Amino acid sequence: MSTQSRLDLSGVHTAIITPFRDGKVDHGALEALVERQIAGGVHGLVPCGTTGESATLSKAEKVEIFRRVIATAKGRAKVIAGVGTNDTAGSIELARAAADLGADAGLVITPYYNKPTAEGMYQHFRTIAEAVPALPSVLYNVPGRTSVSLDVATIDRLADVPGIVAIKEATSNLVFDAEIIARCGERLAVLSGDDAVSFPLWCLGGRGVICVTSNVVPERMVALWNAFEKGDLAQARRLHLRLLPLFTGLFMETNPGPVKALYSWLYPDTSAEMRLPLVDISPSNAARLRALAAELEITTPAGRA
């Protein structure tokens, strides 16, 4: 039986950036980010995901980030630790560390580069869930990053594995999402992995979002979710359409470049620094992003509400 009933992952979970300064993780800026997210009302935090540049973080850095985020959150928001890699054994090590630190769940990405078969992916996710039963698993399907995608049949099989409680679905394919919900929605919480389709996905039965946009406007994303939860679909639609240019604008270059740039403008105590091979967004796109932020009145922290 799934542990989904014992773990509610509904709502807005921010895929937090990893602040760097001079090549190292800026733990002070990270802790300030966590406090700002909680003040904004988010339901959860997702450290060391795609937006957190997990691919360039060492295991030791990830474990320390987990520790800092969990300790700073102090139970005020759930923590879904990014424990997935393209190595099953390595993912188990990270999952054990996250469980020991008190994470609420682990985000486990489809194995990139290896290009496993559907059976290989099933065995990967099942093995991790069974090896670390103390840490519920959230599947992460993002073929645009990994070059492989879970299919509905495999997701259906995984929904019956004890400990697998949710999926972050980031194909932006609402037909695919609807098929998952139709077959697995009673056993597996479907969370949007693409901000721009979150509201439509919720209308199909999705239960939340793992969100990039909430790094910079957490209150607005929470307001969108709250309107939906209350059944005020007209207000939710208005909020969604108002945020749509930001949803797309934050992906004008490879994530997390734009969101790190915007966050650093809002909070100058945090650098927009990224690790190679990612580089700062281009001057032309920075100008576009500044104009978009001004249009949406998010050029200062006070303008975020």
**pLDDT band, very low/low/confident/very high, at 3 (cuts 50, 70, 90):** very low
Tally of residues, the chain? 305
Identity of residue 239: L
Q: Provide the 8-state DSSP code for 250.
A: T
Two structure tokens written together for 25:
């993780």
Superfamily of domain 4-304: Aldolase class I (3.20.20.70)
168 is catalytic: yes
Percentage of residues of the chain with pLDDT beyond 90: 95
**pLDDT band, very low/low/confident/very high, at 131 (cuts 50, 70, 90):** very high
In the predicted model, is pLDDT for residue 302 greater than 60?
Answer: no
115 is catalytic: no
Cα 104 → chain centroid = 14
CA distance 34 to 215: 9
Nearest 10 degrees: Cα torsion 281, 141, 221, 244:
60
Given 62, 78, 168, 260, the catalytic residue: 168
Pairing relationship of beta strands 105-109 and 137-141 according to DSSP bridges:
parallel
> How many Cβ atoms sit within 10 Å of the Cβ of residue 157?
18
Given 78, 140, 260, 263, the catalytic residue: 140
Q: What is the mean pLDDT of residues 54-81?
A: 98
In the predicted model, is pLDDT for residue 304 greater than 70?
Answer: no
Identity of residue 108: V
Integer angstrom CA distances of residue 101 from 17, 38, 135, 162: 20, 19, 10, 21
Two structure tokens written together for 123:
């065995």
pLDDT score of 300: 64
Mean pLDDT lowest among 3-12, 160-169, 260-269 = 3-12
pLDDT score of 301: 56
For 135-200, list the strands marked E by DSSP. 137-141, 164-169, 189-192
**pLDDT band, very low/low/confident/very high, at 6 (cuts 50, 70, 90):** low
Regarding pTM above 0.85, the answer is yes
Q: Tokens 């992952």: give the residue.
A: 9
